Every structure is written in structure tokens, then in C-alpha cells.
Amino acid sequence: MSNSKTIKVDYLARVEGEGALFIKIKDNELTDCKLKIFEPPRFFEAFLRGRPFTEAPDITARICGICPIAYIMSSIHAMERILGIHVGGQLRELRRLIYCGEWIESHVLHVFMLHAPDFLGYQDAIQLAGDKPELVKMALRLKKAGNEIVRLLGGREIHPINNKIGGFYKVPEKADFASLLEELKWAKEASIEAVKVANSLECPDFDQDYEFVALHHPDEYPFNEGRLISNTGLDIDIMDYEDHFEEIHVEHSNALQSVHKGHGNYFVGPLARYNLNYNQLSDLTKQVAVDIGYDRQVTNPFQSIVVRSLETVYAIDEAIRIIENYEKPKKHALDYEIKPGIGWGCTEAPRGILYHRYDIDEKGTIKTAKIVPPTAQNQSRIEEDLSNFIPKYMDLSDENLTWKCEQAVRNYDPCISCATHFLKLNIERE
Amino acid sequence: MTQSILIIGVGSPYRCDDSVGLAILKQLRQHKLSNVHLMERSGEGSDIMDIWQSYNHVVLVDAVQSGAKPGTVHRIDGNAEKVPTNFFHYSTHAFGVAEAVEMARMLGQLPKHLVIYGIEGKDFEIGKDMSPEIHSAAELVTIEIIKEIKSIKEKESVYA
């Protein structure tokens, strides 16, 4: 049979982590498309049971090397909700600042090292560096500005250890920010250039009808706090998350797939945040968006590369605002008394909402933990994108089809390492 | 330039044999080596390119999966040899150690002297302890790195 073959590709490069994508084509028709993630954070949920509540931030930070702050902050907010404390003022601002650092690091890494090579026809960022070394050097310096924020506030940039329930172990002096502030001013201009580069890339036509879900706060672009909203009318406190969303077990994946009950799959991450929170962006970010015609709803996932770049401008602009207004708080952390209860935390990881729930007893021992990472929430949506995308490219060689599928998956910047390692890709043709 | 030798241990503490780089660092720490900086990293490539910038001598150790027998130790002279693309598959990130080395080479940002130790892992499942054959490989590599440091110090008086 001339059109019957099976192709196995080792792994899907340039996706953080590991998983598997299985595509079956019969007589030039797509018959099956499954994204498989081997392991969700179930190990960590079990590992946390019986441990002191204060350990949750440091342990969950280890789930992902790219977004430890998101894990730290979601767990801290959940615990603070149980304890009934609310961190405000400069401590809250510092938490926003460290989140800015994580977005800058993660977004710049994805845009330039993982995603841009797709659009430019390079196999990887090393080839890109060969042809456009100045662009790659600029990206590396931009990312480093994010690292510096996390290092200054977190203690070290991988698995930061300075955040705690109630605040920080120690807080910086105003003078500590001096050289970082100068670098961020350079980074602001560089990030605006990065938006222009991203916007110059050619995207396939692929507008989709999505349910976007993100945090929403009336006064600020969301990092740590807000209500959970969607473009189909959802508007809930995060404590009601599990009333509206459920994780279902699908046979082909060890990971659970999230669905919005009664609605089906949904989309979390930069596009969702942007479409639901455009008004909360800084004036500068909005101006950059207007200049490139992005003051609109963005429903083509390939354009997420532009939105990630715009969010990078925002994160840098917001970091500068926080640093310029910073005054060292008198207390580095709020006091609290341990009490039993259930708490919820939901923050905007670079890839989308990261939900944590904990139940602790009167001694502060964790009885149960639940963690829903953004990639688990996008998983079903990614499969549907691929199902709609592949038929357009059925005539491509398997090699090129594989690459197109990789691109479509990379739109979501899936941090599969939150769940597992990397993605193996199989295309089967009959 | 920092007047110290940098040893980078890459890995995840909760992922079985992937933690070998961290285990070796732990063993090295007990030797209280002078003018040696020990750094644990998750394996994200651009982060590694960033931290080694102020060092002339760098030794990096990580778990690998190349198909060799578990516990096999690979030593790569990073300045002379290309790192096989699929070598560090089990680094947690796709822009990982191999990509960092090759991109740094492309941009002329490699440390003057870079040695990479890759220890062939068997099991990379989450939440498990290191396999027995990896333990002995870790001890072996610890001794090798100490020899490596000694030899650098003999050649370069700045670290003595």
C-alpha cells in the first residue's frame, strides 16, 4: 500500500518537558489525535500529605525549573487563605515584582529559544544564533534581566527560597535595585523591539473559537490575585474552581485532562489573559499593542508569540514601576497563628492559571493537596487545535507535518515538565 | 574573571537518576575544596550560559540517556567536541545542557575550559531514589572531578 506507513519521531523538541503525541491518518483523513502526558503532579500531592504546611512552597517549587515562582505563590496564597492573613502594601508589590521576573524569563525563553525558530524556518535556536547572533544575544540579555529580578528577591534564580507564608525571609534595600533598574530601562526598549520582531513573523491563518479562562483583577493585570473569569460569562471566586472545573481521566494519558463542566475544553495562558484583561495593561504596553494593530481579541494561537512579547513589555514596565515606587517595608513578613482549614490559591503562571488546594489540620500538617497545572488545563484544547490543524497540511511529508504539529503544540508553551519530561511524536499512516 | 573553578551539578531531586548531578555536588561539598564554586541547576540552558560567563574553568555534570549501559560515565571535552544533540534528553528542559553548549559555541561564549560528565541513567521516573548502579558511578565521577580540579590547580596557579 503506497500510502501506508508509520513514522516514529524520537521526541518533540523544544517543548518544556516530555509527553507524547500520537496522530493516525487513514486514507488521507485524520482518524485519531491524542496528546499524552505521562505523569501529572500526583507524586507531589502524595508527597505533601503529612508534611508541615510551611514546606509546600519549597517542595512544589521543585515541580518546574521554569516556573517555580508560580508554584511558590499559588501554595503561599492557599495557605494564607487558611490562616486568614492578607499580605498588602510593599510586600504585595514585591510579590508582583518577582512574578514579573518569572514572566520575563519564561516568555523570552519561549519566544526566542523555542518558538521563533519555527516561524523563521530554523531547526532550533542554535541555527538562529548562527544567522542572527545579535538577536539571540539581545534575547539572552533580556531573559537575564528577568533572572536578576528573581535572584534579587528569591535568593537564587532556580528554586527561589526567600518567599514564605506571610511575606519574605528578608526584603531588599531600595539601593539594592539600582543596577537592576538601569538594566530594566534597557530591557524596556529591547522588549519593544522584540514585539516588532515577533509581529514580523508570518503566522498561518488559524483563528479558533475558544473559551478563554484567566484571572481578572479590576486594577491590575493579573499575577497573584483575582476572580476567575471567561469570555463565556464565568465569574467566580477561586474557592469555587472545583465546582466549575473537573479533571477527567482519559485512557490515553496518565495525566488528568481538565474541562469546564458543561462547556468542554478551555484555553489558559497569555492569549486568555490578554483577551480578558487588555484594559488592565500599562499605557506603554497598550501603545505598543495599538502600534502593531493588537488592540483587539487575539484568537489565532500562533499569534501567541506576539502576545507573549507584549506581556514581556508589560512585565518589564510593571517591574520598573514597582522598583521606582519601592520603600522598604518595616516588617518582612506578617505574623500568624496556625489554624486548621481548607485554602485555595490560583495564580497566573507564564503558561496560565495554576490552581492549588490544601487542607491542613490544627497542627499545620497537610491532610490533602491538589495541584492543577496550566498544561493539564490546556491539554484537551491542544488536541482539538491539532485535529483542526492537521487536515490543512495532510499533503505534507511526514517530516514537515511533524514540524507543523510541533509548532501547533508549542503555541501553548506546554510546560510538560510540570507533569513529565518530553514529548515523543508518532504519526501513523494507513 | 572569578578566580574559582565552577562545578555545575544539573538535575531534579525528585526524579530518580536525574538527581545524580546533585548527588555528586553533595559529595564534593564534603571535601571542602578551596577556590571551587559548586552550583546546583535545573538544567535550563540559557541559565547555564549565564552562570558560567565569569569562569574560565567549568565542569558540568548531569544525567544522560544515550542508550549506553546504566552507570556508564561519558566525559566530553566541551571545547573540542560537539555535544550529541540527543545526549541530554533527560535534562528537564528542551533548551537544555546540549543546546546551551552548542549555542555558546556558536556565539563565542563558551568558557575557556569546559568539561562535561554525563552519567548514563536508567530510570527517570518521578519520586524514586537513584538506581544502585548510578550510586557507584556518582562516587567514581566525584573522584574524577577532584582529580580534574587538582590538575587544573597544578596548571593554573591562580586557583592554588
- ipTM value, please give it: 0.89
Using CB atoms, pick whichever of B13, B47, B93 lies closest to residue A417. Answer: B93
Contact residues, A window 410-429, toward B, CB-based 8 Å cutoff: 417, 420-422
> Which chain B residue shows the shortest CA-CA distance from A18?
B92
Other CB atoms within 10 Å distance of the CB of residue A381? 24
Least trusted range by pLDDT, from A411-420, B6-15, B76-85: A411-420
Query: Which residues of chain B does A11 touch, with a Cβ-Cβ cutoff of 8 Å?
Result: 89
Task: Give the residue-averaged pLDDT of B106-121.
Answer: 94
In the block, cell 530594566 appears at: A184
pLDDT at A252: 65
pLDDT at B65: 79
Q: Is residue A12 very low, low, confident or very high in pLDDT (cuts 50, 70, 90)?
A: very low
Residue A205 contacts residue A300 (beta carbons within 8 Å): yes
CB contact under 8 A, B94 and A125: no
> Which chain B residue shows the shortest CA-CA distance from A421?
B92
Using DSSP, state whether A412 is helix, strand or coil: coil
Residue A15 in this model has a pLDDT that exceeds 50: no
Q: What sections of A292-349 are H helices per DSSP? A: 304-324
CB contact under 8 A, B14 and A62: yes
pLDDT at A8: 34
Model's pTM, two decimal places? 0.92
Q: How far is B4 from chain A (nearest CA, A)?
A: 19
Task: Give the residue-averaged pLDDT of A50-62.
Answer: 94
pLDDT at A427: 58
- Classify residue B40 as exposed, middle or buried by CB count within 10 Å of its CB (0-12, 13-18, 19+): middle
A24 versus B4: the higher-pLDDT residue is B4
B159 versus A277: the higher-pLDDT residue is A277
Ordered domains of chain A (ranges, CATH): 42-393 (1.10.645.10)
Task: Give the residue-averaged pLDDT of A294-315.
Answer: 98
A148 — contact with chain B (CB < 8 Å)?
no
Residue A255 in this model has a pLDDT that exceeds 90: no
- Summarised one tens digit per residue, pLDDT across range A75-84 is 999 999 999 9
> Which chain A residue shows the shortest CA-CA distance from B18?
A421
Residue A10 in this model has a pLDDT that exceeds 50: no
Query: Which residues of chain B does A126 touch, with a Cβ-Cβ cutoff of 8 Å?
Result: 99, 102-103, 106
Q: Is residue B54 very low, low, confident or very high in pLDDT (cuts 50, 70, 90)?
A: very high
Ranked by mean pLDDT, the top range of A11-15, A353-357, A385-389 is A353-357
Query: Which residues of chain A does B86 touch, with a Cβ-Cβ cutoff of 8 Å?
Result: 10
Least trusted range by pLDDT, from A23-37, A391-405, B45-59, B133-147: A23-37
CB contact under 8 A, A159 and B124: no
Mutate to test the interface with B, among A417, A420, A424, A425 (most CBs of B within 10 A): A417
Residue type, B44: E
Extract the runs of DSSP E, i.e. beta strands, from A53-205. Answer: 163-164, 167-168
Query: Which residues of chain B does A104 touch, with a Cβ-Cβ cutoff of 8 Å?
Result: none
Query: Which residues of chain B does A143 touch, with a Cβ-Cβ cutoff of 8 Å?
Result: 46
- Summarised one tens digit per residue, pLDDT across range A177-222 is 999 999 999 999 999 999 999 999 999 999 999 999 999 999 999 9
Residue type, B32: K
- By DSSP bridging, strand B57-64 and strand B113-120 are parallel
CB contact under 8 A, A158 and B124: no
Residue A67 contacts residue A349 (beta carbons within 8 Å): yes
Distance (Å, rounded) from C-alpha A188 to C-alpha A96?
17
CB contact under 8 A, A113 and B99: yes
> Which chain B residue shows the shortest CA-CA distance from A108?
B46
Element (H, E) at A341: strand A341-349
A43 — contact with chain B (CB < 8 Å)?
yes
Mutate to test the interface with A, among B85, B93, B102, B105 (most CBs of A within 10 A): B93
> Which chain B residue shows the shortest CA-CA distance from A13?
B94
Least trusted range by pLDDT, from A284-293, A314-323, A385-394, B103-112: A385-394
A382 alpha-carbon distance from chain centroid: 14
Distance (Å, rounded) from C-alpha A379 to C-alpha A94?
32
Nearest to A410 by CA among A10, A7, A12, A11: A12
The string over A133-167, giving b where at least 16 C-beta atoms fall within 10 Å of a residue's C-beta and e elsewhere, is: eebbebbbebbbbbbbbbbbbbeebbbbebbbbbb
- Summarised one tens digit per residue, pLDDT across range A123-164 is 888 899 999 999 999 999 999 999 999 999 998 645 788 999
Query: Which residues of chain A does B41 touch, with a Cβ-Cβ cutoff of 8 Å?
Result: 158
Q: Which superfamily does B5-154 belong to?
A: HybD-like (3.40.50.1450)
Distance (Å, rounded) from C-alpha A371 to C-alpha A256?
11
Ranked by mean pLDDT, the top range of A32-46, A298-312, B41-55, B121-135 is A298-312
The string over A340-355, giving b where at least 16 C-beta atoms fall within 10 Å of a residue's C-beta and e elsewhere, is: eeebbbbbbbbbbbbb
Distance (Å, rounded) from C-alpha A19 to C-alpha A32?
17
Residue A375 contacts residue A412 (beta carbons within 8 Å): yes
pLDDT at B121: 87
Residue A354 contacts residue A99 (beta carbons within 8 Å): no
pLDDT at A420: 35
pLDDT at A419: 37
CB contact under 8 A, A125 and B99: yes
Q: How far is B151 from chain A (nearest CA, A)?
A: 30
pLDDT at A39: 53
- By DSSP bridging, strand A5-12 and strand A423-429 are antiparallel
